[in-house]
């Protein structure tokens, strides 16, 4: 009868839906509202985690610098803020402690180790990656095995060799030792960067009439530059922070590097913590400057040679 009179027999389908009835039109906004309510918690967790990591990483640096400028550093205890600001500890370290000469010696040794180890490692990496010769794999295995030898086991043999060559108490002899120590790791790491460069680029340069030197300087070197930066960071940190070889080979205080010079402020019964923290701050500054100079290529250099092709 409702069909003849034209009156609707039931309410329209759209009117029968009520909010929260489970219809698709209501379900999507509800899901979005639930997600919107859940977003702030993970974001807050990430912020808290990042802040915690920053505090964990930067607090030692803050404590070192604040203790270096604290006039009451020996009796500071657990006080977070320094009692005042003074630069007397830096003056004592540089003038009375002779730390300026130690910094100069360390810069000479570290820069020399970085330059020569990077050049030699790059040439050796090109040789083992691009040329096929007998015992090539054996050489690579030997290079890797050298890196596994404990540092303490090399002190006495290298000391005897340096004494035979007349290079004890010499910055040049210490630089050569650091070059030899970091060369094996640098060769192994740069080998992956050189292998990742397509050989077709070098062949195209040869066809265009480029010499080997021009191809190396214009094509290969720019492509493996991030790898050179990454290996130079390792060589610099090794030469800058090394203590055992420097203590063994250097006898005169005028030739000391910063790790040996730092121990002068540790007495038998007392320790000048203000001078120790000031010297540690001075040791850290060149490393920070070096990282600022190479940080653009460092992140790409750590992964660019991991995949070939």
Same domain (yes/no): 116, 221:
yes
146-172 per-position pLDDT tens digit: 778 887 888 888 889 888 988 888 899
- Of residues 226, 222, 215, the one with CA closest to residue 297: 226
Same domain (yes/no): 61, 101:
no
Reported confidence tier of residue 13, pLDDT bands at 50, 70, 90 = very low
171-181 per-position pLDDT tens digit: 999 999 999 88
**Token pair listed for 282:** 């001075």
167-226 per-position pLDDT tens digit: 888 899 999 999 988 888 888 888 888 888 888 887 787 787 777 778 888 888 888 888
Same domain (yes/no): 293, 177:
yes
Rounded Cα distance, 252 and 282, in Å: 21
Whether 83 maps to a domain, the answer reads no
Bigger pLDDT: 308 vs 292: 292
Q: What is the pLDDT, as a whole number, of residue 40?
A: 54
Total domains in the chain come to 2
DSSP 8-state code for residue 93: I
* DSSP code per residue over 191-217: HHHHHHS-HHHHHHHHHTT--HHHHII
Whether 241 maps to a domain, the answer reads yes
Which range marks the domain in which residue 204 is found? 97-301
**Cβ distance 201 to 276 under 8 Å?**
no
Whether 212 maps to a domain, the answer reads yes
| pTM, rounded to two decimals | 0.73
Give the pLDDT mean for 275-302.
77
72-113 per-position pLDDT tens digit: 877 777 778 888 888 888 888 888 778 888 999 999 999 999
Whether 72 maps to a domain, the answer reads no
Phi-psi map region of 98: left, alpha, beta (phi>0 left; psi -120 to 50 alpha): left
Burial group, residue 97, by CB count within 10 angstroms (0-12, 13-18, 19+): buried
Rounded Cα distance, 105 and 171, in Å: 7
**Token pair listed for 126:** 């090109």
């Amino acid at each position: 009868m409702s069909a003849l009179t034209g009156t609707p027999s039931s309410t329209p389908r759209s009117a029968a839906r009520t909010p929260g009835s489970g219809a698709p039109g209501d379900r999507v906004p509800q899901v979005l509202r639930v997600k919107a309510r859940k977003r702030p918690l993970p974001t807050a967790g990430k912020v808290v985690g990042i802040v915690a990591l920053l505090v964990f990483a930067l607090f030692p640096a803050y404590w070192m610098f604040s203790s270096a400028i604290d006039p009451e550093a020996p009796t500071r205890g657990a006080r977070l803020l320094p009692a005042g600001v003074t630069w007397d500890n830096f003056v004592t370290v540089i003038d009375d402690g002779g730390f300026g000469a130690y910094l100069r010696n360390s810069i000479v040794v570290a820069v020399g180790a970085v330059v020569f180890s990077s050049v030699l490692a790059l040439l050796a990496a090109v040789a083992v990656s691009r040329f096929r010769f007998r015992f090539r794999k054996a050489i690579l295995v030997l290079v890797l095995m050298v890196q596994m030898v404990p540092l303490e086991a090399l002190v006495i043999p290298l000391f005897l060799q340096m004494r035979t060559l007349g290079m004890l108490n010499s910055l040049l002899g210490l630089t050569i030792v650091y070059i030899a120590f970091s060369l094996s790791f640098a060769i192994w790491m740069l080998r992956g960067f050189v292998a990742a460069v397509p050989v077709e680029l070098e062949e195209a340069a040869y066809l265009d009439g480029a010499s080997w030197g021009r191809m190396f300087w214009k094509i290969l070197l720019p492509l493996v530059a991030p790898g050179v930066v990454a290996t130079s960071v390792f060589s610099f940190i090794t030469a800058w922070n090394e203590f055992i070889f420097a203590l063994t080979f250097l006898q005169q205080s005028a030739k000391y590097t910063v790790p040996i010079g730092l121990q002068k402020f540790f007495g038998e019964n007392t320790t000048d913590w203000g001078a120790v923290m000031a010297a540690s701050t001075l040791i850290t500054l060149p490393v920070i400057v070096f990282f600022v100079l190479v940080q653009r290529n460092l992140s790409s250099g750590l992964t660019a040679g991991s995949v070939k092709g």
